[in-house]
Amino acid sequence: MALLSIVLPAYNEEQNIAVATKVLSKLLEENQIPYELVFVNDGSKDNTYQEIEKAAAANPNVKGACFSRNFGKEAAIFAGLELTTGDAVIVMDCDLQHPPETILKMWKLWQDGVEVVEGIKTSRGKESIFHKMSAGLFYKIMSKLIKMDMNASSDFKLLDRKVVNVLLELPERNTFFRALTFWAGFRTESVEYEVQERQFGESKWSFFSLMKYAVANATSFSTFPLQLVTVMGMTLILFSVILAVQTLVKYLMGTAVEGFTTVILLILIVGGFLMLSLGIIGHYIARIYEEVKGRPKYIISKVAGHVEGNVVGAWHKSSGE
């Protein structure tokens, strides 16, 4: 019978590990779905990893890995995918904000031959207005830039083994899991779910970290900001032709004495555009630099439960075998 793997990234979630393990194992055992839970401790500052070890010792279907430091949720998701052995893999938050019952719907769809099941949020749950607004803005910009409707999408997904292998083969370091499954294609269906309230701990996203995430993902998925530089240049050239004609005419008519305001404005506008353009280009160069260095996405310092291959200290399963 097919095995279902569930990847759960965890950062400072000590209170959630035991609850998540209990709820998920109960649900899956009741529905007779063979499963494994893969926790990835993303450099937590609390006892998250000890909790994972405890869960792994008590339940043979639980395994986990510990990062050497905080590498971010994207890295944790990919490390989790790397450790899974299932025929279908679900990625979900370990704070149980993604309702576990939805797993059954996803599993059903997968059994019917669907290769990617996207979790779609019907509501954003209880979040502060500020958080809602910044998240709203974030998805608006993202959807425009990568030309996919990201508004309600989330990291809660089921992927067939084929899709997981495709994602794991990607050489890039700056990944954006949420959009990569759209990019990969395959037979996709979606299920709606309602975001639950967080029981323990707090959300790790601040306005600043969301913005950073937005910029990083926008530039990793789109070259539109670079084209924007060209558009800005075009606009300025058009503007300068008009001004040049006006200036020359004035000069020839012998009235070209004043014009400091124009000069000051031009210097400010051109200077602003130039620096902005350089910034955008610089950002892409920084991305290229990071990719070219080829550093691993994450470093695993130890593992709990039954993990195949030598993944500790190595970032790719095959490199350790």
Q: Enumerate binding residues for ligand UDP (CB under 6 A).
A: 9-11, 13, 42, 70, 72-73, 76, 93-95, 97, 203-205
Shorter beta-carbon distance to Mg ion: residue 74 or 95 = 95
Calculate the CA 187 to chain-centre distance: 21
Strands 116-123 and 88-91 come out as unpaired
Q: Which does 115 bind (CB under 5 to 8 A by kind): ligand UDP, Mg ion, none?
A: none
How near is the Cβ of 218 to ligand UDP at its closest, in Å? 18
Give the residue with the Cβ less far from ligand UDP, 5 or 97.
97
Which residue from 5, 12, 21, 97 is in contact with Mg ion, where contact means CB under 5 A? 97
CA distance linking residue 73 with residue 141, whole number of Å: 20
Q: Which is nearer to Mg ion, 53 or 93 (CB)?
A: 93
- Total site size for Mg ion, rule CB under 5 A: 3
Applying CB under 5 A, does 42 fall inside the site for Mg ion?
no
Amino acid present at 23: V
In angstroms, what is the minimal distance from the CB of 196 to ligand UDP? 10
User: Which residue type is seen at 83?
Assistant: L
> Cα 86–90–95 angle (5° rounding)?
130
Minimum CB distance to ligand UDP smaller for 9 or for 86: 9
Of 193, 161, 167, nearest to 181 by C-alpha is 167
Q: Tell me which stretch binds Mg ion (CB under 5 A): 33-41, 93-101, 172-180, 306-314.
A: 93-101
| C-beta nearest to ligand UDP: residue | 203
Quote the CA–CA distance of 113 and 264 in Å, as a whole number. 65
- List the 88-91 sheet strands across, edge first: 188-194, 116-123, 153-160, 88-91, 4-10, 35-41, 62-67, 300-304
Identify what 39 binds: ligand UDP, Mg ion, none; CB under 5 to 8 Å per kind: none
> Which lies closer to Mg ion via its Cβ, residue 110 or residue 177?
177
Give whole-number Cα distances, 147 to 91, 154, 187, 215, in Å. 23, 16, 19, 15
Question: Least distance in Å: CB of 182 to ligand UDP?
Answer: 19
| Residues of the shown chain interacting with Mg ion in the complex, contacts defined by CB under 5 A | 93, 95, 97
